Structure 1
Amino acid sequence: MEALASQSLPYLNFKRYLPLKDHSRCNFHPKLHAQVASTSKDLSMSHHVLDKMPTTDTFSWNHLIRTHLEIGEIDNVMYIYQKMLIRGVRPDKHTIPRILAASRLSNSLFLGRQVHAHAVKLGISCEDYVITALMKMYGHLDGAKTVKQVLNTSSVGKSSIFGTLLISMYLKENKPRFAIDMFYQMVTLGAEIDAVAIMTAVGACSMLQSLHEGRKVHGIAKACGLETHVLVCNSLLKMYVDCGSIENAREVFDAMSSRDSISWTELIRGYVKNGGFNEGLKLFKKMTSEGIRPDPHAVSSILPACARMTAHKQGKEIHGYLIRNGVEMNVTVENALIDMYVKSGSIESASKVFSRMVVKDAISWTIMIYGYSLHGQGALGVKLFHEMKKYNLEIDEVAYSSVLYACVVANLVQEGRTLFSFIRRPNVRHYALMVLLLARAGFFNEAKIFIEVNKIGQHAEVVRALLDGCRNHRNVKTGKKIIEQLCDLEPLNADNYILLSNWYAVNAKWDWVDKLRETIRDMGLVPKKAYSWIEFHNKIHVFGTGDVSHPRSEKLYWDLQCLMKKIKEEGYVSDTDFSLHDVDEERECIPVGHSEMLAISFGLVSTRRSTIQITKNSRVCHNCHEMAKVISRLEAREIILKDPNCFHHFKDGHCSCGDLW
């Protein structure tokens, strides 16, 4: 820093700064135009008066510099400073910070260093105002390392303000470890720790996702008597949520004497993030009942909790609340609404929200494209993608994934080939979707060549996509080889061994079945249990395969037997080939006992004329899929069944997936 003082005063490199601009010819930011127009006459008069005065004081020049700085005339600020020095007026602790701010805004580190040298020569470089301006200038133009040098050479080591400013700069540079160390240094030096310092340090813990460091900073906050300050509490809430400790977050929330919208939003976000959807919804309702108006961030935090079949009603209620209470509906909130409706089974409602949006970003289009695909309307998704391109929006890898999936659903092979060729840097997801598209269309040889050429055979996601094609086309021989490959790629995935076991069982190779099951037990692997659930009267009813634990099981099985009789009279023949199915218990249990059929039976018994909505944790089996189609026609009921792959809308004997899932 001493080297800066060797530069002479008042000479600066001002060649780029021309005489004062004519305000009437300046191109200002629109927001500043009116302000400049109203002040230009006064500024011209001020300049005229200063030029005519035989002697001037610092206050007059400072006022003129501040005015030009406020309206964004950086060049004029520097020109005035030059004139001020030439006139022999000595800058003070109010002048230098404004000139440093002008250097920062003009992105000139060279000029900023010269002004720093002036501050040193004038003996005001250790003034609080000047140090703050120096830290902001160097932080913006040269980084936190230089800022720390400025702080170390000053005499303000115990000031919380300057330490906090340096911490925030470390965070801006994504250096949370440096920020935490600086905070501990402040504590060791006995600096007066305020709420802003604690909040900034907690922010560093959030970035690190370190629960250990977060609890240490929380302890310091308690020692300083700041644990109840709303800024500190809100930052602690966010930190505990980011670190995955919803219990600690709840303790902070419950201990708060006063809460604002941010407090409620952070805890709601925490519950939703950790799967506590119902608790998040309860908090949102309590928040609104206490008269706290949710902001867009709060709304977008709670809507993911409603993006489930069982929470569709709550999602509609929140949407209604937003409309009735005039809550701001920005693009983030509208995107969250679309996503909620898509994932809770109402593609029609999602489409309505999308069509009414005044402003749509790339996320809006991508969600809707994926939504159409998820609900078996791939052709609409592809059409929407081409419409999106007309708006010159950035098409990222997620958008390409969505439209490729739309091609898979609509079986648009050539369209998929063309779109894939436009992806500059395909990822594994894109490759897997192309393999799925080719395999489902029956182009197995092309799919295998595609895998070999792109050298992607080591990715389980890609291999599993090829297996899906084998399922659809009942290509059992190829499917068996693929299953064996999956077992090699994912040796700890029990479902792969179950698939292989099923194949051997169907082909009566019982010795191999026994060996595989023994292998699964020896490895301590736990096969996935299939279950389905349905909501009725705000209660979730869960059914497992062959489940008899439900109070109405006897009635459900009896009704299913009656339905099976009707279905057989319609000419339906049960499929006994489970060789490529991924859940062992589905093979061993008669179709009438499958979890989705029990849930459908419960829906038929418990409701009248309304749509039956069911969720299953695994792929719906071929038999149940075919029976659901027949039931939808015989009972004249729409059945919506969501499995991990898509939404199946069964209506009038047809399914929206086109029997490809």
Structure 2
Amino acid sequence: MATRQLAPGRMPWRGLFVSSISTQCGSSSDLFDVSALLRLGGAKAALDYLDSRQGRDGFLDSSTLARLLLDCGRSSALAEGRRVHEYVVRSRFVRDAFLGNHLVHMYLKCQSFDEAERVFQSAACESFDVATWTAVIVARAGLGKWKLVFGQLDEMDRRGIPPDRVMIKTLFTACTKLGALEEGKLIQDRLAGTQLELDIGVLNLTINMYVKCGCLDGAVQTFARMKRRDVVSWTVMIGAYSQDGKFSLSIQLFREMLLEGTAPNSVTFVSILSGCEAPSLLEQGRQIHALVVESSLESHVVVANSLLGMYSRCRSWEDSRSLFDRMSIRNSVSWSTIIMAYEEFTGVTRTTGIFREYSMAWLSCSIHWYWNSTFF
């Protein structure tokens, strides 16, 4: 692991200055030396200096040790972090909760989960703050150690430490990523009667977890219990119905959102357009397009591409071509969509007609991009 180097040409006078101060002021200047080296050369330089003091580490205070641990965590310097841990063990702050929190976070940031667990489980530190409990729980959830996660939540209950919003939101995110539906349900049950039960951010993540885990009923039930909804809440449910092939319910929900006065965003439009995929739905697609224009989002390339895809699935070549010609920004998705649409509607081979026009323009743009990125 590379460490930060001192600025060339500046090291000599800084070294002489630090040495001069150390000689005149004794141990109080040792802290100055460590701080200066930490700032200029990182934890390794500071630790090398400490090692050179031949065991004279009694002058270290908890703030300096914490700064060393923070630097090791930021740079993922596990070897140096272990060296700082040794200084903590030898110091009078071995049972200091402040340093215990920093030790756990350092090991977690260095991806050394076993060592973080040992520090967390040891009796060396009397207590940990909520941020440390959260970090350990999240690490365990990420590794799929759900038994330990729920055991730790039980321990927090016994100690009277309530889980905070960050912890619960991160746990739902982990459940979504790992497809841990049952664990997500258990976490939701734990929120009953708490302030977080009706937290809109937590509920949005809960709905998303149900959707991504394939439990649409759970998402619907959670959405129905919400006393307040934002654009994220509506968008997740609209997208869920669209993906499940229930476009009529998606449209119904979209209308309810508009009636409640919630303005759709680009993700909302992309979500609802994904379910508009049959010629019989063309008129509804055009109505959504009108709302896109009203929302000043037609120039948003992702939304425009979704509209192109919708017109292609609804087999409206005229609408596809008209929209494509108006697009001020086009990417590979735009070109691919219009080319495939043209071939499907006309049956013209790939060597004639509009395909040649678009493919040559696409090739020209690609060459232009390659030339600029390579030579400039």
TM-score where L is the length of structure 2: 0.72
Name the counterpart of 1:152. Answer: 121
For residues 83 and 116 of structure 2, the distance between their equivalents in structure 1, rounded to whole angstroms, comes to 16
Name the counterpart of 2:254. Answer: 284
Q: Are the aligned partners of 1:296 and 1:328 in contact in 2 as well (CA < 8 Å)?
A: no
CA deviation profile, 1:382-432 (whole Å, cap 9, x unmatched): 76397275355xxxxxxxxxxxxxxxxxxxxxxxxxxxxxxxxxxxxxxxx
* Cα separation, partners in 2 of 1:278 and 1:220, compared to 1, 3 Å: same
Name the counterpart of 1:320. Answer: 290
Name the counterpart of 1:182. Answer: 148
Counterpart of 2:139 (choices 166, 169, 174) is 169
For residues 65 and 324 of structure 1, the distance between their equivalents in structure 2, rounded to whole angstroms, comes to 59
Q: Are the aligned partners of 2:57 and 2:87 in contact in 1 as well (CA < 8 Å)?
A: no
For residues 43 and 92 of structure 2, the distance between their equivalents in structure 1, rounded to whole angstroms, comes to 21
Name the counterpart of 1:295. Answer: 265
For residues 233 and 37 of structure 2, the distance between their equivalents in structure 1, rounded to whole angstroms, comes to 41
* Cα separation, partners in 2 of 1:334 and 1:223, compared to 1, 3 Å: same
Cα distance, 1:324 vs structure 2:
2.9
* Cα separation, partners in 2 of 1:170 and 1:88, compared to 1, 3 Å: closer
Counterpart of 1:139 (choices 84, 105, 108) is 108
Q: Are the aligned partners of 1:94 and 1:129 in contact in 2 as well (CA < 8 Å)?
A: no
CA deviation profile, 1:283-316 (whole Å, cap 9, x unmatched): 2333244333333333322221234323333333
Cα distance, 1:256 vs structure 2:
1.9
Query: Where does 1:518-537 land on structure 2 (aligned, <5 Å)?
Result: none
Q: Are the aligned partners of 2:210 and 2:218 in contact in 1 as well (CA < 8 Å)?
A: yes
Cα distance, 1:238 vs structure 2:
0.9
Q: Are the aligned partners of 2:104 and 2:119 in contact in 1 as well (CA < 8 Å)?
A: yes
Q: Are the aligned partners of 1:269 and 1:302 in contact in 2 as well (CA < 8 Å)?
A: yes
How many residues are paired up?
346
CA deviation profile, 1:413-460 (whole Å, cap 9, x unmatched): xxxxxxxxxxxxxxxxxxxxxxxxxxxxxxxxxxxxxxxxxxxxxxxx
TM-score where L is the length of structure 1: 0.44
* Cα separation, partners in 2 of 1:290 and 1:123, compared to 1, 3 Å: farther
Cα distance, 1:230 vs structure 2:
1.8
Letter of the structure 1 residue corresponding to residue 222 of structure 2 = V
For residues 260 and 309 of structure 1, the distance between their equivalents in structure 2, rounded to whole angstroms, comes to 31
Letter of the structure 2 residue corresponding to residue 337 of structure 1 = L
Name the counterpart of 2:373. Answer: none
Name the counterpart of 2:374. Answer: none
For residues 352 and 96 of structure 1, the distance between their equivalents in structure 2, rounded to whole angstroms, comes to 65
Name the counterpart of 1:521. Answer: none
* Cα separation, partners in 2 of 1:171 and 1:189, compared to 1, 3 Å: closer
For residues 88 and 359 of structure 1, the distance between their equivalents in structure 2, rounded to whole angstroms, comes to 63
Cα distance, 1:231 vs structure 2:
2.6
CA deviation profile, 1:168-187 (whole Å, cap 9, x unmatched): 33555xx3x32x32321123
Name the counterpart of 1:19. Answer: 6
Query: Where does 1:362-377 land on structure 2 (aligned, <5 Å)?
Result: 362-375=332-345, 376-377=347-348
Compute the RMSD of aligned alpha carbons: 4.3
Letter of the structure 2 residue corresponding to residue 358 of structure 1 = I
Letter of the structure 2 residue corresponding to residue 287 of structure 1 = M
User: Is 1:112 paired with 2:99?
Assistant: no
For residues 151 and 193 of structure 2, the distance between their equivalents in structure 1, rounded to whole angstroms, comes to 16
Counterpart of 2:208 (choices 228, 233, 238) is 238
Q: Are the aligned partners of 2:97 and 2:127 in contact in 1 as well (CA < 8 Å)?
A: no
* Cα separation, partners in 2 of 1:257 and 1:374, compared to 1, 3 Å: same
* Cα separation, partners in 2 of 1:211 and 1:281, compared to 1, 3 Å: same
For residues 61 and 301 of structure 1, the distance between their equivalents in structure 2, rounded to whole angstroms, comes to 58
Letter of the structure 1 residue corresponding to residue 167 of structure 2 = A
Larger Rg: 1
Cα distance, 1:251 vs structure 2:
2.3
Name the counterpart of 2:274. Answer: 304
* Cα separation, partners in 2 of 1:138 and 1:359, compared to 1, 3 Å: farther
* Cα separation, partners in 2 of 1:48 and 1:166, compared to 1, 3 Å: same
For residues 365 and 156 of structure 1, the distance between their equivalents in structure 2, rounded to whole angstroms, comes to 62
Name the counterpart of 2:329. Answer: 358
Provide the secondary structure at the position in 1 that maps to 2:214. coil
Cα distance, 1:381 vs structure 2:
5.2
CA deviation profile, 1:98-150 (whole Å, cap 9, x unmatched): 43343344343222322333333335466555445444443343343443333
Name the counterpart of 1:3. Answer: none
Cα distance, 1:237 vs structure 2:
0.8
Cα distance, 1:352 vs structure 2:
5.3
For residues 140 and 334 of structure 2, the distance between their equivalents in structure 1, rounded to whole angstroms, comes to 34
Cα distance, 1:76 vs structure 2:
3.9
CA deviation profile, 1:314-351 (whole Å, cap 9, x unmatched): 33333333333345965443433332232222345445
Flag structure 2 segments of 5+ consecutive residues without an equivalent: 371-376
For residues 275 and 308 of structure 2, the distance between their equivalents in structure 1, rounded to whole angstroms, comes to 13
Letter of the structure 2 residue corresponding to residue 150 of structure 1 = V
User: Is 1:207 paired with 2:177?
Assistant: yes
* Cα separation, partners in 2 of 1:120 and 1:333, compared to 1, 3 Å: farther
Q: Are the aligned partners of 2:43 and 2:80 in contact in 1 as well (CA < 8 Å)?
A: no
CA deviation profile, 1:591-630 (whole Å, cap 9, x unmatched): xxxxxxxxxxxxxxxxxxxxxxxxxxxxxxxxxxxxxxxx
Q: Are the aligned partners of 2:200 and 2:228 in contact in 1 as well (CA < 8 Å)?
A: yes
For residues 116 and 287 of structure 1, the distance between their equivalents in structure 2, rounded to whole angstroms, comes to 54
Q: Between Structure 1 and Structure 2, which shows a larger proportion of helix residues?
A: 2
Letter of the structure 1 residue corresponding to residue 201 of structure 2 = L
Q: Which moved more, 1:116-125 or 1:236-245?
A: 116-125
Cα distance, 1:217 vs structure 2:
2.0
* Cα separation, partners in 2 of 1:158 and 1:113, compared to 1, 3 Å: closer
For residues 246 and 103 of structure 1, the distance between their equivalents in structure 2, rounded to whole angstroms, comes to 44
For residues 228 and 261 of structure 1, the distance between their equivalents in structure 2, rounded to whole angstroms, comes to 16
Provide the secondary structure at the position in 2 that maps to 1:227. helix
Name the counterpart of 2:71. Answer: 102
Q: Are the aligned partners of 2:4 and 2:42 in contact in 1 as well (CA < 8 Å)?
A: no
For residues 100 and 301 of structure 2, the distance between their equivalents in structure 1, rounded to whole angstroms, comes to 41
* Cα separation, partners in 2 of 1:206 and 1:18, compared to 1, 3 Å: closer
Task: Give % identity.
Answer: 23
Q: Are the aligned partners of 1:158 and 1:189 in contact in 2 as well (CA < 8 Å)?
A: no
